[in-house]
Amino acid sequence: MVDKALKDMTFEDFCRAVFNTKDTFHKPEVMKGIRVISTTQYILGPCVAAYLAELGAEAIKVELPKRGEPMRHTTPFNEPFLYPLSRWLPDKGTGLGFFGANPNELFLSLDFHKPEAIQIMKRLAAKTDVCCENYRAGTFDRWGIGYRQYQESNPRLIYQWLGGFGGWGPGRNRASYDILGQAQGGCFSVTGWPKEYGGMPSKQTIWIMDYWGGAISTFNIIASLYWRDNVSGKGQFLEYSQVHGAQRHLTDFIALYGKTGIVGQRWGNWEPLLCVHGILKCGKSSYPNSKNPQEQEVGFCFVSAFKDEDFKKLCGVVGNAELAKKYPTHADRVGAVAQTEIYPALEKWAADKTKEEVEKAFTGAGLVTQPVLNSNEVANQEHWHLRGSMQWIDDPTFGDVLTQGVAYRLSETPGRIKHVFKPVGADNEYVLAKLCGYGGSEIAELEKNEII
């Protein structure tokens, strides 16, 4: 129930009060008491445990001893000085590619190939709520540590497997990566430039299909926890296919093909359903005195003016009344031929301006607009820091770390970032003592035999 003080606030002040980031660590965690075992690698899979850990679950990431999972080695550079790999390999570092998908977890090292490790995994599974893994289809089942084995001793277990193509059907044994999912799922076919502008498809530089898959799988897990705890009392086996998730992104293109036979095409920075609603190339850099080659590049700016009255305003800003007369309605503008004339005309006007100058002109006319920001500009934008979506945290292992906060808000049980990640095996003693009952000498013996 909202108290009177909150009821009398403006909506903005109400949001500031209930989502106050200074109160985050004084509030309860919605997933506290849920334990997750994550035997995952790369991004698809690891981020599932991380998302649950942001909400308070006890997430234990299990990796191979010493070197850990492959994602730790994707960006070598100078990370040995920043993020050490493990105490066994002090001269090796964990790459920044590992950074985004592993916050808040405990880290256990374990060699799945050894019988003693199999027994440890079974002990852990017997005391956990959720297992997630993303090895090739059937790998853990063959090793005797898959869902079918675990559920015999823990029928309440929810087991999320993530793979490229699913557990049956053509390609089920193939490995998959984010870029492969985008390729087979059809995303590349509609991302990039039309043939008149080079015709090249373009991948997402970020691992968007991996993080998307992780979010959907987290959604599946939370739904399954509700079904277990409120309906059935039983766990279940969950599957997520990366290529299936990618084709879900095709939105209306599948329906368009099914209804008309039309195959969706690439439109670059324009929008096939709206005009004007795209990104303009500006002619000047925002940092003319910078020695950084990236900052010497020209800027880009988004503008939306698909309503007839807004398009007329836009033409007034760029001083092109003829364009407004030629394309007075949205039906006149949205066709491919019209767009190939409209956007170059707008970019001709922007050719002697920075993205900030373009934004100022469009904002002054009441249009929706936004410069395209680079990672430096995003990291220093007041909006993100004010809302806790970008934050400096005092990480217990690495000290001051700049990282993204959680991307959502819960007023009573907010998600939070406690630490970014840890070296391989950092929590071996804690996890094995707490959940498996091992003493110090037993843990030392496991390490001596390279089981952990």
What CA–CA distance (Å, rounded) separates 16 from 38? 35
User: Peptide bond preceding 303: is omega within 30 degrees of 0, i.e. cis?
Assistant: no
123 Cα distance to chain centroid: 31
Give the percent of the chain with pLDDT over 90.
70
Average pLDDT over residues 436-443: 94
| Best CA proximity match to 154, nearest among 131, 177, 120, 138 | 131
What CA–CA distance (Å, rounded) separates 185 from 176? 12
The last residue of a domain, from among 352, 379, 406? 379
CB atoms near residue 166 (< 10 Å): 17
Given this model, what pLDDT does residue 2 score? 59
Residue type present at position 223: A
| Token pair of 437 as six digits | 């009952």
CATH code for position 367: 3.30.1540.10
Given this model, what pLDDT does residue 181 score? 83
Residue pLDDT, tens place only, 331-382:
999 999 999 999 999 999 999 999 999 999 999 999 999 999 998 999 999 9
* Domain interval for residue 311: 277-379
pLDDT at residue 74 tops 90: no
CB atoms near residue 222 (< 10 Å): 18
The last residue of a domain, from among 351, 379, 407? 379
Q: Are 147 and 211 in the same domain?
A: yes
Per DSSP, the three-state class of 399 is strand
Burial class (CB in 10 A: 0-12, 13-18, 19+), 14: middle
In a domain, 281, yes or no: yes
In a domain, 384, yes or no: no
In a domain, 374, yes or no: yes
The CA-based diameter of the chain, rounded to the nearest angstrom, is 84
Q: Which residue is listed with tokens 């094995």?
A: 432
Q: Which residue is listed with tokens 């002697």?
A: 352
Q: Are 145 and 63 in the same domain?
A: yes
CATH code for position 406: 3.40.50.10540
Q: Is 388 left (phi over 0), alpha (psi -120 to 50) or beta?
A: left
Give the percent of the chain with pLDDT over 70.
99
- φ/ψ of 403, rounded to 5, equals -150, 165
The pTM of this model reads: 0.92
pLDDT at residue 58 tops 80: yes
Per DSSP, the three-state class of 155 is coil
Distance (Å) of CA 369 to CA 4, 136, 301, 451: 38, 44, 7, 56
What CA–CA distance (Å, rounded) separates 124 from 155? 14
User: Helices then strands (H, E): number in the chain?
Assistant: 20, 11
In a domain, 261, yes or no: no
| Candidate ranges 35-49, 90-104, 262-276, 374-388; pick with highest mean pLDDT | 35-49
| Best CA proximity match to 234, nearest among 158, 122, 126 | 158
Given this model, what pLDDT does residue 75 score? 73
Q: Are 101 and 161 in the same domain?
A: yes
Strands 399-404 and 300-304: unpaired
Cα-based angle 39, 203, 276 (whole degrees, multiple of 5): 130
Q: Are 373 and 399 in the same domain?
A: no
pLDDT at residue 173 tops 80: no
Q: Are 234 and 285 in the same domain?
A: no
Are the beta carbons of 245 and 216 closer than 8 angstroms? yes
Average pLDDT over residues 71-88: 81
pLDDT at residue 78 tops 70: no
Helix (H) or strand (E) holding 154: none
pLDDT at residue 76 tops 70: no
Given this model, what pLDDT does residue 77 score? 63
Which residues, 6+ apart, have CB-to-CB distance to 13 below 8 Å? none
Average pLDDT over residues 130-138: 94
Q: Are 371 and 405 in the same domain?
A: no
Given this model, what pLDDT does residue 366 score? 97
Residue pLDDT, tens place only, 175-234:
788 888 888 888 888 888 888 888 888 888 888 889 999 999 999 999 999 999 999 999
| Token pair of 405 as six digits | 């906060």
Per DSSP, the three-state class of 424 is coil
What CA–CA distance (Å, rounded) separates 39 from 141? 13
What CA–CA distance (Å, rounded) separates 185 from 177? 12
What CA–CA distance (Å, rounded) separates 167 from 281? 45
In a domain, 268, yes or no: no
What CA–CA distance (Å, rounded) separates 95 from 98? 6
What CA–CA distance (Å, rounded) separates 371 from 357? 10
In a domain, 440, yes or no: yes
Are the beta carbons of 150 and 159 closer than 8 angstroms? yes
What CA–CA distance (Å, rounded) separates 221 from 215? 10
In a domain, 291, yes or no: yes
Buried residues in 169-182 as b, exposed as e (16+ CB within 10 A)? eebeeeebbbbbbb
Q: Where are the beta strands (DSSP E) in 121-205?
A: 130-133, 158-163
Buried residues in 388-411 as b, exposed as e (16+ CB within 10 A)? bbbbebebeebeebebbbbeeeee
Q: Are 109 and 151 in the same domain?
A: yes
When the pLDDT of each residue in the chain is averaged and rounded to a whole number, the result is 92
Q: Are 372 and 401 in the same domain?
A: no
Q: Are 361 and 408 in the same domain?
A: no
Q: Are 181 and 288 in the same domain?
A: no
Q: Are 428 and 338 in the same domain?
A: no
The last residue of a domain, from among 335, 354, 379? 379
Name the domain count of the chain: 2
CB atoms near residue 32 (< 10 Å): 11
Residue type present at position 62: V
Q: Are 135 and 58 in the same domain?
A: yes
More confident residue, 96 or 433: 433
421 Cα distance to chain centroid: 16
What CA–CA distance (Å, rounded) separates 62 from 107? 6
In a domain, 255, yes or no: no
